[in-house]
Structure 1
């Protein structure tokens, strides 16, 4: 009886979560000139036309490429920096490792809105505003603390005997990092990369604050402009663009879901 109740509850929750997705898909297929309100069933199949309109109007293709560059580039940089910092804090004999951990991890404790005003002023006073390398820089900085948290937690489980054996064999810190601990932490690094990739892909806050040009603007900022400046195109066009924007994240999650599960196991 308890098992049936649990399964029924899980089905109900799944249907509740799938309902908004279903409505997005149905209304994205609706022709823009036929849309008079939310549809609950397919009445037309104009998805390709709506996507074409969105891409031509708001330059969604360029925005997707920009976002891929920011997501992949910043996640890669953050994971490498996090791995180096984790190795230094956990494996190397540094003084006050707990203090160093909190100094790095504190970057995740403040709301992102706190950084907007000083970042905007700093970017506006330099050549970083509305540039691709400026966007990669801020996304990398934001991604380091959580990536450090994931990789560091994994390295704490590494046996000390490996370090002692490597030192007896004459291995230096750099050799130990590259040949021993980096391969061991590969799963945690992949999980951290995926988390930060998805977080950057879905970011809107910094995209609309630190960029304006179509060749720099990330995907979510382009969708926001499509919903604002080009709202006259109709909800089906906006929903179709949002549907296309969500496909890479869904594919990525389904393809590497075991790394997400492993990352959750590593975080207390």
Structure 2
């Protein structure tokens, strides 16, 4: 009896969780010409590609997708490698005050991001990084480092000390220890951190609308926000079709690398 209650409880919450996604898909497929202003619960036609075409032309989604792909890939990659170097230094190398270094780096995730907006805006304008691709990559990479460090560092603590000691007895230096031994051992945590940070950068709107303004610089979420605000006369189905399209890359990425999330939770030893 308890098993049936548990399964019924889980199914009920799964259905409630999926209702917004279901409504998004159904209304994104509704032809904009037949949309009456109220959400459709059942498909009344198939106008998804027409809606998507209008959204693509109105908000220049192609350029926004390219920018977000560039920012998310480079920033997450830079952050993950920086986190790997920092984790190796804190955990494997004989570093003093390891706890202090951990909290110093990880504290970047504890502060609300809104407090960075005003000083970042002023600093970016002063150094000519405002509304540039380089500026977007740098700020996203910096913001991604703390959480990536948290994931990689915690996984690196599960690597047995005997591995490092044996390698050092064989004459391995710090460079070889990092590149040839520890980095391959923690690759699952690196990929998991990359997926997390790629998803965050892709879905970010706050810094996208604060530090960029040109269509050839702004990320896709900023383009989607402009479509939702400046082109509201086009109708909700067009906006929803665009939202469904821009959500697909992160879903595909997560499903592709989902096995690394499970393996990153298992200790090396």
User: What's the TM-score, normalizing by structure 1?
Assistant: 0.97
What is the CA deviation profile of residues 110-145 of structure 1, one whole-angstrom value per residue up to 9, with x for unaligned ones? 011111111111111121101111101011000000
What is the CA deviation profile of residues 4-46 of structure 1, one whole-angstrom value per residue up to 9, with x for unaligned ones? 0111011111110111111111111111122112111111211
The CA deviation at 1:264 is: 5.3
Corresponding residue for 1:100? 101
Matched, 1:88 2:78: no
Instruction: Name the CA distance, whole Å, in 1 between partners of 2:172 and 2:19.
Output: 57
Deviates more, 1:74-83 or 1:166-175: 166-175
Matched, 1:12 2:12: yes
What is the CA deviation profile of residues 60-117 of structure 1, one whole-angstrom value per residue up to 9, with x for unaligned ones? 0110111011111101000000000000000000111110111000000001111111
Corresponding residue for 1:34? 34
Q: Structure 2 unaligned runs (5+)? A: none
Instruction: Name the CA distance, whole Å, in 1 between partners of 2:6 and 2:187.
Output: 36
Q: Structure 1 unaligned runs (5+)? A: none
SS across alignment from 1:148: helix
CA contact (8 A) 1:191 1:262 kept: no
Corresponding residue for 1:247? 248
SS across alignment from 2:216: coil
Instruction: Name the CA distance, whole Å, in 2 between partners of 1:263 and 1:24.
Output: 32
Flag the 1:263–1:114 CA change in 2: closer, same or farther, 3 A. farther
Corresponding residue for 1:151? 152
Instruction: Name the CA distance, whole Å, in 1 between partners of 2:203 and 2:266.
Output: 24
Aligned length: 266
CA contact (8 A) 2:76 2:194 kept: yes
